[in-house]
């Protein structure tokens, strides 16, 4: 009886010690979590005893902490990118606004019809630049709204591209751009939106004129069950292009800010393309930059 009591007492003491160790370990985990929260530390939770599967629990906590830290890092990078982009966009908006004051004054003081015509043309160009920048910002904000729906119907990709190219032909020639247009005779029906397809082409060709040399190629054809558009042009500074980032919002390869650009043109093109079930990518071969778009060909015409 005495021996049994002694054994029971030893087991009870051992159980109490074990429970105290678990309690102390729980307090240690709480202290580590509090330290990580208060100091934004990258420390990981550690334990001494694996009691009731606590090692698995701590592993899950550490994985969760790693995920949160990665999300925070990505958020900080995005916040910096957006802040820098808005700073650049503000600069692009402020520059024509500032110059408008000067040219309006020059227009008032102009003494000849020739001077008035010149300053009026410059003022019109500055206003157009502002309108384009603001329109890009408005369109991109609209496209990023999950509630926005793009109305899709069966349209002829060949006809839309042909009409858009024809409407811009004079603009390209006046800018000294020699377009090389190759469009298939096939209708190429797709489930799309005519205005959206036109906006995609306008943004891509505008990008080519801003950052490219005096040539432009537009190639439209069929590849199996898809319609493909390829817009390519030689670029002045291929070393400045980060090809994996060209469709990011606010990204611009013009690091020296030589041209007024919102950095949203290709991002808008991507949003419209994906909303119509298509794919879009960019490639850079030497000094030749190309945007390649594909849409599934509709089975109903």
275-288 pLDDT, tens digit per residue, is 999 999 999 988 88
Contact by Cβ (8 Å): 140, 267: yes
Strands 178-183 and 153-156: unpaired
Contact by Cβ (8 Å): 185, 223: no
Predicted local distance difference test score (pLDDT) of residue 256: 45
Is 301 part of any domain? no
Instruction: Report the pLDDT averaged over residues 12-29.
Output: 71
Predicted local distance difference test score (pLDDT) of residue 101: 79
Chain CA centroid to CA 12, Å: 64
Q: What is the helix (H) or strand (E) element at residue 232, kind and residue range? A: strand 226-234
Predicted local distance difference test score (pLDDT) of residue 283: 92
Predicted local distance difference test score (pLDDT) of residue 212: 65
Predicted local distance difference test score (pLDDT) of residue 244: 87
Tell whether the model's pLDDT for residue 19 goes beyond 50: yes
Residues 161 and 287 in one domain: yes
Residues 215 and 291 in one domain: yes
Task: Tell me the residue range of the domain where 132 lies.
Answer: 73-143
pLDDT digits (tens, 9 = 90+) for 162-180: 998 888 877 777 777 778 8
| Residue 189, phi then psi, degrees to nearest 5 | -75, 135
Structure tokens at 162: 């042909």
Is 203 part of any domain? yes
Residues 177 and 278 in one domain: yes
Instruction: Report the pLDDT averaged over residues 12-16.
Output: 69
Structure tokens at 84: 């820098």
Is 270 part of any domain? yes
Distances (CA, A) of 117 to 69, 120, 126, 130, 212: 59, 5, 14, 20, 30
pTM higher than 0.75, yes or no? Answer: no
Pick the residue with more confidence: 48 or 103?
Answer: 103
Residues 179 and 287 in one domain: yes
Separation CA 49–CA 29 (nearest Å): 12
pLDDT digits (tens, 9 = 90+) for 118-146: 888 888 877 877 787 778 777 877 887 77
Residues 158 and 115 in one domain: no
Tell whether the model's pLDDT for residue 153 goes beyond 90: yes
Q: What is the helix (H) or strand (E) element at residue 247, kind and residue range? A: none
Q: What is the helix (H) or strand (E) element at residue 256, kind and residue range? A: none
| Last residue in a domain, options 143, 171, 203 | 143
Structure tokens at 160: 């839309």
Predicted local distance difference test score (pLDDT) of residue 85: 63
Predicted local distance difference test score (pLDDT) of residue 88: 66
Instruction: Report the pLDDT averaged over residues 225-242.
Output: 88
Pick the residue with more confidence: 272 or 24?
Answer: 272
Structure tokens at 78: 């995005």
Pick the residue with more confidence: 231 or 131?
Answer: 231
Task: For residue 238, count other CB atoms closer than 10 A to its CB.
Answer: 16
Count of structural domains, the chain: 3
Residues 207 and 278 in one domain: yes
Residues 118 and 30 in one domain: no
pLDDT digits (tens, 9 = 90+) for 34-82: 888 777 777 887 777 666 667 777 888 888 888 888 888 888 877 776 6
Predicted local distance difference test score (pLDDT) of residue 31: 81
Contact by Cβ (8 Å): 192, 229: no
Residues 125 and 96 in one domain: yes
Is 68 part of any domain? no
pLDDT band with cut points at 50, 70 and 90 for residue 257: very low
């Amino acid at each position: 009886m005495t021996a049994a009591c002694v054994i029971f007492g030893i087991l009870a003491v051992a159980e109490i010690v074990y429970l105290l160790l678990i309690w102390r370990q729980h307090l240690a985990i709480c202290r580590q979590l509090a330290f990580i929260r208060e100091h934004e530390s990258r420390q990981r939770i550690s334990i001494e005893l694996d009691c009731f599967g606590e090692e698995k629990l701590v592993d899950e906590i550490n994985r969760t902490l790693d995920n949160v830290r990665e999300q925070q890092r990505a958020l900080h990078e995005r916040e910096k990118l957006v802040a820098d982009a808005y700073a650049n966009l503000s600069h692009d908006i402020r520059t024509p606004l500032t110059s408008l004051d000067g040219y309006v004054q020059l227009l008032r003081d102009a003494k000849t019809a020739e001077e008035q015509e010149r300053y009026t043309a410059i003022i019109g160009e500055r206003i157009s630049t502002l309108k384009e920048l603001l329109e890009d910002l408005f369109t991109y904000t609209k496209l990023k709204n999950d509630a926005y729906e793009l109305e899709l119907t069966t349209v002829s990709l060949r006809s839309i591209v042909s009409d858009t190219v024809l409407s811009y032909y004079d603009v390209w020639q006046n800018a000294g751009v020699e377009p090389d247009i190759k469009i298939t005779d096939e209708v190429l029906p797709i489930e799309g939106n005519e205005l959206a397809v036109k906006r995609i082409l306008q943004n891509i060709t505008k990008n080519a004129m801003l950052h490219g040399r005096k040539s432009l190629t537009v190639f439209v054809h069929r590849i199996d069950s898809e319609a493909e558009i390829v817009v390519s042009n030689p670029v002045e500074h291929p070393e400045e292009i980060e090809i994996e980032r060209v469709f990011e919002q606010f990204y611009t390869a013009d690091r020296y800010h030589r041209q007024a650009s919102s950095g949203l043109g290709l991002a808008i093109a991507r949003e419209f393309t994906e909303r119509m079930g298509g794919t879009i990518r960019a490639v850079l071969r030497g000094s030749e930059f190309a945007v390649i778009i594909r849409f599934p060909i509709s089975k109903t015409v």
